[in-house]
Every structure is written in C-alpha cells, then in structure tokens.
Amino acid sequence: MRVLVAGFEHETNTFAPTRAGYQNFVNGEGYPAMARGSEMLRLRDVNLATGGFIQAAEQRGFEIIPVIWAGASASAHVTTDAYERIAGEIVAAAKAHAFDAIYLNLHGAMVTELHDDGEGELLRRLRAVVGPEMPIYCSVDLHANMTEAMLTLATGIVGYQTYPHVDMAETGRRAVALHDACREAGGVLYRAARRLPFLIPLNAQCTLVDPARSTYALLREKQVGDVVSLSFAPGFPASDFSECGPVVWGYGRTQDAVEAAVEAVYRHILETEPQWAVTFLDPESAVKEAMRLSAGAARPVVISDTQDNPGAGADADTTGMLRALVACRAEGAALGVFYDPAAVAAAVEAGAGGTVTLALGGRSGTVGDEPFVGTFEVETVGDGRCVFEGPMLRGTELDLQGAACLRIDGVRVVVSATKAQMFDRNLYRMVGIQPEAMKILVNKSSVHFRADFGPISEAILIAKAPGPMKADPRDLPWTKLPQAMRLVPAA
C-alpha cells in the first residue's frame, strides 16, 4: 500500500484584518514550519493529524510518499499566490507518483481570495487527476465548515473530537482505521450528514464542559456495530460563505445504521440548543473578578482575551485587557502573547534592565482599540524559541523570531515578533515568567489554552475586549449566510 500524504491547514476568518501569504505558511506561526518530502516524517511524534497518520500507516507497513506539510495561523483569506503554490505542489505530486491512496491533513475552514471552499477546490483538482475511484481520506479540525463538495469528493473524512485539540494525532490514526474499514467493506461505505440550523460561538465548543462534552460522549456511544465513523464539526463561525456552520456526518456498513447514528447526534444538539449560548465579561469586570478570586488563592485565575485570539484570525495586538489590568492596578499579572515586532526590537536595543517608552499594539484597525502608550521596564529579552510541553502540540518547536518580557506596574507582557496563540505555558517561561506563580494570567486564546492552563487554574473567565475575532457571531456583518441560519443558539 503506497499512500500520498500532504497537509495544508488554514482556518479563515473572512472578517479578519490580515491575509495569509506564502511566508506565513513557511513560518508555521504556531504550527510546525513548512516541511517537504522526508522532512515531514519528523512530524510522526508531534500531536498533529499528519503525525498520527504516519505512525499508524508505518505500523501497517504502508509506504509513505510525503509531499508537503503547510499550516499558518488563522487569519483572513489565503492569498491566491500561497494557495496556488501549495495546492499546486500537492496536485503535481499526484500527477508524478504512482500510489494506492491519498491522505490529506486539512483544516476544513479555508477560504481563499478566489475560493470560498479551499479544501473542496483542492479535492476537485485532485479528482481531476486521479479519477473517481482513487481512495482519498482526510482529517479535519473540529472547527471545520464541512461542505457538500468535501463530503462528496473525499472517500472518507474524520474530525477532531476535542477542543482543546488534544486528539489531533489520534484523528490521523482514525483516518487510517477508516481506510482499513472501507477496504474490508469492498471499497464501499455508506455516508450520512446533517447540517445544524444555528451557528455555535467558539467559546461554547469546548469539549471539557457541556453541552459539547455530552455531545461527543453520545457520538462515541453511537459509533458501534455497522457505524464505522462519526464526526461532528461545530464549525468556525467567522467564515462568511453559504456553508458556514455545524455539521454531523458519518460512515457505515449500512445506510440505515449510519443515518440513525447521525440523526441521534443531530437531534441531541437541537434539543440542547439553548445550552450552546455564551456569557461574556467586559474587560474591567473580568479583571476585578479575577482579582477577587485570586486573593488568597494558591493558583492563578486565567482570563481568555477571546476576541484577540490569533488562532481565530486576530492579530494578537489589541490593548483592551492591558488597559484594564493597569487601570485596576492588578498585581502579579501577566499577559501574552502580544504581537508587536517593533516593541521586541526596542526591547532588544534597550536590553534587560533598561526601559522603553512605547505605543504598544493597537494597529489591527479594530473599532474601540488603539495603541497603549506607556513606559515599560525590559525584564528579559530572548530569541523567541521554545518547545511545547503541553498536551495539545507537545514536541512542536516554535520560533517567534524574538520575544521579550515588558513590565508596567504589576503587569508583565510577553511580546513577540511573530504571532502565536497562548496555548502552552512555555510561551510564558521562554521570557522568564513562571505562570504557576502569577495571580492573574490573560491569554490571547479562546479555548486551546485550557489544555495546558486548566490544571493550574483557580478559575477561568472569558472577557470580551475589542478585537477582530467577534466572539458573538451577531456582531459580524454577514453577507452570504442563508437566511434560515440562526446567528446564535436560540434561547
């Protein structure tokens, strides 16, 4: 069995300020850096779907034909140049090699400058080369916006079942299992899918708490007997195109079995619809509550700066939470990761122990946000390199191309020269901050941080400071959603 393997991941927030160019994929921006050919085999021990697929495929004696791995932090549309260069490599490899199957590590929510459905377009191009019979298996993110083209053109697709995504490698292994089950069934499995009629806010999709927790428990319960695979993608509620939204789908040895399982999960989500709503705090209320909860506590209170999450398309440079921390005179507080290359350069020039007066951040064009002007002490400067040890991307080597710890009053700020979501404690430690010793941690992340920070947290709060990634889908200027799609769960 010879399998062509490629990864191309991007989560597209069509309302975000910055597009994803080719260099963003070269850098990786929280994902591993771009890799080609045999370099991809180094990902086998990384918690990525590609890594899990390679591990399981090698254990079965498959011959891997690695093409390219490319991922970039969430942002606005993928540029035509980046898409054509990366997709072009994958399609060219399909033309050049002989193989028995294709595996694609996709995100499922890619929108390009020319294509609303980036993954569907890639699959269409591959089908034009390999024909309708070639097995093509895909893994997708829990935030995938599953389209009819994706479901129709792929032989089988499996989605993550955890948010934070601690099961990415496991999902790659499930793709191999789906491939095996399809072969055992003579190359034919039956498919069923149902689309939900409402958007689900990102913060409600966390599988550590209900209703998502119980939904995925039911999904696993129904994946028995003739039901080979079940997936539920709550979707990425910031991609303005007609098929944005939650989908349940699955594969089975009989049509009746898979349809019944998909319908059961679908009905459960409809019945729990009011539970998918989210309550947010304004910045100062969040800080004051964190100060109250952390008084006398042995562990830090963590605040999610959810609307400036670079993992969802923001630029990680809005200042609302920093202003609230300083205004409330918070002590023992740290905030990260704040993207500002100019601030990093100024800190390097001043050196550890020096001071810098900066207009920090505030350049994303977000309404209600502006640079924070202040004088900071430079506590540390560093090269911005670290290796993740948390459960989500353990083993990933990250290079932020420079970082520093800036302090103003009782607040420390991790600034970096490259965007990265704060989902691993080592992003604090790389500039000398011990997160366990802080009273308050403000993370520019929506949910992923919970995997590594949840075990050390006294409490977790969600703040709605001005930012490009609107946590409430009602705040976005939608133009392409069907009128029947509810922007938030009904009460």
What is the model's pLDDT at position 3?
Answer: 98
Average pLDDT score over residue span 319-344: 98
pLDDT interval class at 411 (50, 70, 90): very high
pLDDT interval class at 440 (50, 70, 90): very high
Residues in the chain, total = 491
Task: Report how far residue 351's alpha carbon sits from residue 6's, in angstroms, rounded to the nearest whole number.
Answer: 42
CA dihedral angle for residue 440, residue 445, residue 451, residue 455, rounded to 10 degrees: 10
> Phi-psi bin for 225: left (phi > 0), alpha (psi -120 to 50), beta?
left
Task: Report how far residue 219's alpha carbon sits from residue 161's, in angstroms, rounded to the nearest whole number.
Answer: 9
What is the model's pLDDT at position 129?
Answer: 98
What is the model's pLDDT at position 395?
Answer: 83
The answer to whether the beta carbons of residues 298 and 478 sit under 8 Å apart is no
* Residue for token pair 């599953």: 146
Strand blocks (E) in 141-225: 156-159, 190-195
For 232, phi and psi rounded to 5 degrees? -135, 120
Q: What pLDDT digit, counting tens, does each position of 452-464 carry?
A: 999 999 999 999 9
Task: Please measure the distance between the N-terminal and C-terminal CA atoms of the chain and give it in whole angstroms.
Answer: 51
Average pLDDT score over residue span 14-27: 94
Contact residues for 130 (Cβ-Cβ < 8 A; gap 6+) = 94, 102, 136
pLDDT at 121 over 80: yes
Q: 31, 34, 128, 37: which is closest to 82 by C-alpha?
A: 34
pLDDT interval class at 29 (50, 70, 90): confident
CA dihedral angle for residue 72, residue 75, residue 79, residue 85, rounded to 10 degrees: 10
What is the model's pLDDT at position 30?
Answer: 77
pLDDT at 393 over 90: no
Give the DSSP letter of residue 390: S
| More confident: 222 or 46 | 222
pLDDT interval class at 17 (50, 70, 90): confident
What is the model's pLDDT at position 392?
Answer: 86
Task: Report how far residue 462's alpha carbon sits from residue 383's, in angstroms, rounded to the nearest whole number.
Answer: 30
Q: What pLDDT digit, counting tens, does each position of 285-302 carry?
A: 999 999 999 999 999 999
pLDDT at 427 over 90: yes
Average pLDDT score over residue span 49-57: 97
Bond from prior residue into 211 cis (ω within 30 degrees of 0): yes
The answer to whether the beta carbons of residues 109 and 239 sit under 8 Å apart is yes
- Sign of the Cα torsion 56, 59, 65, 67 reads positive
What is the model's pLDDT at position 364?
Answer: 87
Q: What is the pTM of this model?
A: 0.89
For 373, other C-beta atoms within 10 Å of its C-beta total: 11
pLDDT interval class at 335 (50, 70, 90): very high
Q: What pLDDT digit, counting tens, does each position of 135-176 carry?
A: 999 999 999 999 999 999 999 999 999 999 999 999 999 999
C-alpha 9, offset from chain centre: 9
What is the model's pLDDT at position 259?
Answer: 98
pLDDT at 60 over 80: yes
Task: Report how far residue 81's alpha carbon sits from residue 147's, in angstroms, rounded to the nearest whole number.
Answer: 23
What is the model's pLDDT at position 52?
Answer: 97
Task: Report how far residue 151's alpha carbon sits from residue 145's, in angstroms, rounded to the nearest whole number.
Answer: 11
| Adjacency order of strands within the sheet including 247-252 | 190-195, 247-252, 227-233
Q: What pLDDT digit, counting tens, does each position of 170-219 carry?
A: 999 999 999 999 999 998 899 999 999 999 999 999 999 999 999 999 99
pLDDT interval class at 245 (50, 70, 90): very high
The answer to whether the beta carbons of residues 308 and 369 sit under 8 Å apart is no
Beta-strand relationship, 403-408 and 411-416: antiparallel
The answer to whether the beta carbons of residues 442 and 305 sit under 8 Å apart is yes
Task: Report how far residue 388's alpha carbon sits from residue 13's, in angstroms, rounded to the nearest whole number.
Answer: 25
Contact residues for 324 (Cβ-Cβ < 8 A; gap 6+) = 283, 284, 286, 287, 463, 465
pLDDT at 444 over 90: yes
Q: 438, 435, 224: which is closest to 331 by C-alpha?
A: 438
Question: Domain ranges in the chain?
Answer: 2-276, 283-471
Task: Report how far residue 30's alpha carbon sits from residue 203's, in angstroms, rounded to the nearest whole number.
Answer: 20
Q: What is the mean pLDDT of the chain?
A: 96
Task: Report how far residue 143's alpha carbon sits from residue 380's, in angstroms, rounded to the nearest whole number.
Answer: 36
pLDDT at 491 over 90: no
Contact residues for 386 (Cβ-Cβ < 8 A; gap 6+) = 397, 398, 424, 426, 427, 429, 430
- What Cα–Cα distance (Å) separates residue 112 from each residue in 23, 240, 264? 15, 12, 34
Strand blocks (E) in 19-169: 35-36, 63-71, 101-106, 136-140, 156-159
The answer to whether the beta carbons of residues 2 and 134 sit under 8 Å apart is no
What is the model's pLDDT at position 396?
Answer: 85
| More confident: 313 or 425 | 425
